Chain A
Amino acid sequence: MSKKISSTEVAHIAQLTKLNLSENEYEKLSQMLSETLEYVAVLDELDTTSVNETFQVTGLKNVYREPNFPVKGLTQEEALQNAPITKDSKIGTKAVFGRE
């Protein structure tokens, strides 16, 4: 399945992934992403109708820690040390409510 990604679609995906693009990046990405999709269409040559997916190669299932395993945590200071905005030992964000 080969498909072109238009500049409009690029803008939509950029919005979904919260990425800012510069003017010339729309066209460039439209072309580059389309080229990449064109390449990966090679997979359609292979019949996979009765093949299962492999999401991970370890074969491990339901991995649990030992009970009472001493989990390392961060101190409040450590958890906050990289936050750009902090106030009263909390992380600051832009307001979510009351936005247009």
Chain B
Amino acid sequence: MNLNELTVTEALEGLIEGKFSSEEITKACLERISQKDPEIKAFITVIEEAALEEARKADEKISKLGKKAFVDSPLLGIPYACKDNFCTKGVKTTAGSKVLENFISPYESTVTALLKDAGAILLGKTNMDAFAHGSSTEESDFFVTKNPWDVSRVPGGSSGGSAAAVIADMCLFAIGSETGGSIRGPASWCGVTGLKPSYGRVSRYGLIAMASSTDSPGPITKTAQDSALILEVLAGKDPYDATTSPFPTEKYSLELQSDIQRIKIGRPKQYFELDLQPDVLKATEDFLEFLRENGATIVDIDLMDPKYSIAVYTVLQRAEVSSNLGRLDGIRYGNDRTSFGFEAKKRIMLGAYTLSAGYYEAYYSKAQKVRTLIIEDFNRAFSQVDVIVGPTMPCVALGIGESFSNPMFGEMIDVLSEPSTIAGLCGITIPVGVSSSLPVGAQIIGDRFKESQILRIANFYQQKTRFHLERPKK
């Protein structure tokens, strides 16, 4: 096995036992990137020299302190890829947009700062739909990332570069961000594990804002166990982001080892009645059956029709986008507003329209009220069940170019993630099946700050099945 193919957990064990060095792992990832990325195009920027230097520093620390080196630096020597909307000091940060094509961030986002403190090594920045507006990476102002399972297909988005980099073993893990499906969608289409933490669990400081009331950074990994390790580093109150929660964090990786007896799982009828591909439906039902056979109770539940969530999400997201992208004036940094792509213009303009006098009540205020109803709906559901399980995406990865005809493509394809993101809930997608050689994902949605519960179920499944070990042909 090549070192770039390791999980984070395996790599940490090997580093602690001195089986290999961080430099060797980092080199293996960089070699894989130079071999595979010309075809996949997951990365916008690769920082080879800086990564190797950090790896050598990690190795020095390990040789000096041994196992103790990992006490304060739980991800010491682990190379990762980061979505290009996290500010990384001294490294180009574009958000996939021409507006920021030459922007070198003068400061570090909290997420990348925490990873740095934990010893993780940044390999580079990954492609995304510009400003995260999209669900395929086709809206990137630079290029389309290809799905490593079938390069005629998209990886999903907006964190498509990160998901593709993980399944193609170009890194040990990656960071994405989700506003409405942008972690879970691409993770599902690329066959990896994607965790969207509860809103406020992980700091947004230094994350180029899309919709501030739903943006949630999270890990894209090879296993749920790795997700838990990364979340442990990222979760918590950040004085630089007033919306982060003081609610206590957990040692997520230590909460994994237990069975799923007595767990009550909700099966939302409305999600299964959508127009789902038959293989997606079957794989999700098989996943539920697995959980039932292993002691969980499955209960049919009612949730609001997700069509309302699509509408709420569309209005709120556009409104917040119009306000957040207002700051891009090309004076202090970046190019001027003539550099915006069509998708960004479309969203900014709809947002400005729904926020304007005369329409505010009808659209923006109305959507915020329906959001309350959606939250109440989930609260009712979580009074009956512990978690909710459903498909992650209605279909497997689409072909390049299939999304362009629909002005709300992103909202429609993310229909199964939007309700939970509007309510600020956590969710994890894991691969649970295969359809015509493409991965199928199912998601487990948890109540706010119940990350350990969804991680436990995902990990239990991965301990006993092999879908997460599947890889595309090299």
Contact = CB atoms under 8 A, between A and B. Distances in A.
B213 interface: yes
A55 B337 contact: no
A81 B106 contact: yes
A39 B310 contact: yes
A1 B308 CA distance: 14
Contact of A36 (B314, B326, B333): B314
Interface residues of B, number: 58
A35 B332 CA distance: 36
A21 B338 CA distance: 9
A39 B331 contact: no
Given A21-B345, A32-B407, A53 B245 contact: no
A5 B352 CA distance: 13
| Residue of A20, A54, A58 with highest tally of chain B CB at under 10 A | A54
B407 A83 contact: no
B329 to A, nearest CB: 8
A100 interface: no
B338 A20 contact: yes
B363 interface: yes
Interface in A33-62: 33, 35-37, 39-46, 48, 51-58, 60
A21 B24 CA distance: 50
A91 B330 CA distance: 11
B311 A42 contact: yes
Contact of B199 (A48, A58, A63, A74): A58
A25 B342 contact: yes
Contacts of B342: 25
Contacts of B334: 82
Contacts of B370: 43, 46, 48, 51
A60 B242 contact: yes
Given A36-B314, A41-B311, A54-B375, 9 more contacts: A9-B353, A29-B349, A33-B349, A36-B350, A36-B408, A40-B367, A54-B368, A58-B199, A63-B243
A9 B453 CA distance: 49
A88 interface: no
Given A13-B353, A19-B348, A48 B373 contact: yes
B332 A91 contact: yes
A41 B120 CA distance: 47
Contact of A32 (B307, B330, B346): B346
Nearest to A45: B308
5 contacts: A46-B308, A48-B373, A60-B242, A82-B104, A82-B334
B349 A43 contact: no
Interface of A: 1, 5, 9-10, 13-14, 16-21, 25, 29, 32-33, 35-37, 39-46, 48, 51-58, 60, 63, 65-66, 69, 72, 74, 78-79, 81-85, 91, 93
The 4 closest A-B pairs by CB, nearest first: A82-B333, A57-B424, A53-B368, A78-B106
Contact of B333 (A14, A18, A72, A83): A83
B239 interface: yes
Contacts of B373: 46, 48, 51
A19 B369 contact: no
Contacts of B352: 13, 16-17
B1 interface: no
Q: Which interface residue of A40, A45, A52 has the most chain B CB atoms within 10 A?
A: A40
B367 A43 contact: yes
A1 B199 contact: no
Interface in B342-365: 342, 345-346, 348-350, 352-353, 356, 362-363, 365
Contact of B423 (A57, A60, A91): A57
Contacts of A5: 353
A8 to B, nearest CB: 13
A63 B242 contact: yes
A40 B243 CA distance: 28
Given A51-B369, A51-B372, A93 B331 contact: yes
A43 B102 CA distance: 41
Contacts of A17: 322, 326, 348-349, 352
B322 A58 contact: no
Interface in B367-385: 367-373, 375
Contacts of B335: 84
Contacts of A51: 369-370, 372-373
